[in-house]
Every structure is written in structure tokens, then in C-alpha cells.
Amino acid sequence: MAIISEMQEEKRPSVPFEASLDPSNPLGFLEKAFDFIGKESDLLLKDSAEKDIATAVTAAKKRLSEAEKKKAEKETVKPIEKKSTKESLPPMEPMEVEKPKKESLKPTEPMEVDKQEEEKSGLIVPNKGNGLDFEKYSWTQNLQEVTVTIPVPCGTKSRSVTCEIKKNRLKVGLKGQEPIVDGEFFNAVKPDDCFWNIEDQKVVSVLLTKQDQMQWWKCCVKGEPEIDTQKVEPESSKLSDLDPETRSSVEKMMFDQRQKQMGLPTSDEIEKQDMMKKFMSQHPEMNFSNAKFN
């Protein structure tokens, strides 16, 4: 996550990255990505490069673990068919919920220091979750996901909630009432990897998986106040926090990128050169003077 912050600070013209992922060789894709970053920025030459890349890897693994856990929890809840709901449940009177006003899109008052910074930049300092808190709802984010939290009357059941998650739009509220959140996303999400649930029958939590997982959102829904993405605080991590296999792969890729930037052979090329030297020493009768090597 710190990688993105540093790249934003450089303010260089954006350069398209073109590469396709081969599921059988994911490290090949990562090497291309590191090669691209190495050519377009000086990130890999910085002392904090290992820590920044380890942070991104740890965050990705954490997101994957949480997504699998939440997906398993979701599968344990069986959806109620519309027919059975109408037949078995008595008609419910809609709960009285105050309609969201324009004031609900006003963030809570920041500290004086943050307020001065906001006046200079025109942007708002994000909350502790790198999002914003409103009167009717709040949202937080990391590079991979956005979480929207909406307080509802205590005792609210899931059948009383309406939640529509589309690629570019979110609509959440209670049946028979005006939507609490209704608008277009700052960026697209992956609807198949998004879901919602009710926590303690008083809070609706909506998990949104970003389609572009290398960008911080300035707002959750377009039209609401925007945060200063330069003020986000990504989770810190170290290479020592990774498992041995992942750490070895990350260190290898970082070494290879530094070697390429200095015009030196990569670890694979060094290994091939060593194998060729060994072969030549074992076969002195062979003439390699006119041989060409890649």
C-alpha cells in the first residue's frame, strides 16, 4: 500500500501496464509488474522497498483469508424464497426511519489541525479506516476492499433490508423507506465478490471488493465529500512477517529488479551462467569460442 502512496507523490504521467496473468505461473506476472515499476519509478532503489512490498503482500493475503472466511459464513445462511416469505410471514408495518437529509453527507467535525489542512487542500483528512464518517453511515477502505457501515433500528431483521450491489452502484435501505445510501461508486467493484450482513440486528455491513486494487478511493459514492488520499495510513509490515516461501519469492523478485536496473544478470541468468561454466569445465575438449549465449 505504501507503494501507491510513493508513486502518487512522484506525480509522474501515468503509463499503461500491459500484462496477462498465467495461473500456472503467477510469479512471472509479478516479475513483469516489478519490472514495470522499476522502469517507471525509483521505488525499488529506496531503502524502504522491501517493507513496502511486504506490506502489499501481507494485505493481499489478509484480504484473501477474510474473504474466504466471510464467504463460508455467507454460504451457511440459506436465502428465503419470496413465495414462502409471503405465505408464512404476516404483513409487516414499515419501520419509521428518518429520511436521509443533505446534512447526513456532512462528515463529523475534524480536529483543528486537520481543519486547517482541509482549508488549504480542499480535501478532507480521512478517518482511522481511511474513509469518512457521516451521520447516517460511514465507510472505510484498504487497497482491496471498501466497507460501508449503516446503523439501523435495534432488532432489524435481514428480511427488512434491501441491498442492491452492482458494478458501479450501491443502494441500501429498509423496505418501505427511502434508501439510506443510493449512488454511483467512485470506482467499479466486483459484484460477485461483494456481500452484506446484519451485525447484532442493529448494523448493516456491506463489503465491497474493488475491481482496481491498486488505488485508494477518494469517496465511496460520487457526490459526497472527498478525502485526501495522501493522508491515508496503510498497514505496516515487514518481510519477517511473511512465511518463508513468500518471503523467498519477494526477495528474489526484488533482487532481480535491482540487477536489471543496474544492467546486471538476474538470479535465473546467474544460475544459467554457472551451469554453462560447469558444463564447459567438464568438457574441455569442446570449443566454445564461437558460441553465442543468451
Q: Is 49 exposed, middle or buried (0-12, 13-18, 19+ CB in 10 A)?
A: buried
Q: What is the average pLDDT value for the chain, to the nearest integer?
A: 78
In this prediction, residue 187 carries a pLDDT of 94
Sheet strands side by side (includes 203-209): 132-133, 138-141, 145-151, 203-209, 195-199
- 171-188 burial, b for 16+ CB within 10 Å, e for fewer? ebbbeebebbbebebbbe
Asked if residues 104 and 134 have their Cβ atoms less than 8 Å apart, the reply is: yes
Answer with the residue of higher pLDDT: 100 or 247: 247
Is the pLDDT at 78 greater than 80? The verdict is no
Contacts of residue 84, defined as CB under 8 A and 6 or more positions apart, other chains included, come to: none
Cell of 18: 500491459
What pLDDT, on the 0 to 100 scale, is given for residue 84? Answer: 47
**106-121 mean pLDDT:** 54
Q: Quick check: helix, strand or coil at residue 95?
A: coil
Asked if 3 and 38 touch (Cβ cutoff 8 Å), the reply is no
Residues 248-290 pLDDT 10s: 877 887 788 788 878 888 988 898 888 888 888 888 887 766 6
Give the global pTM. Answer: 0.46
Could you tell me what percent of the chain has a pLDDT over 90?
A: 30
- What average pLDDT does range 92-96 have in this prediction? 55
Residue 243 scores a pLDDT above 60: yes
Q: Domains in the chain, ordered, with CATH?
A: 122-235 (2.60.40.790), 244-282 (no CATH)
Distances (CA, A) of 130 to 41, 150, 216: 25, 17, 9
What is the C-alpha end-to-end distance of the chain, expressed in Å? 36
C-alpha–C-alpha distance, residues 176 and 242, integer Å:
49
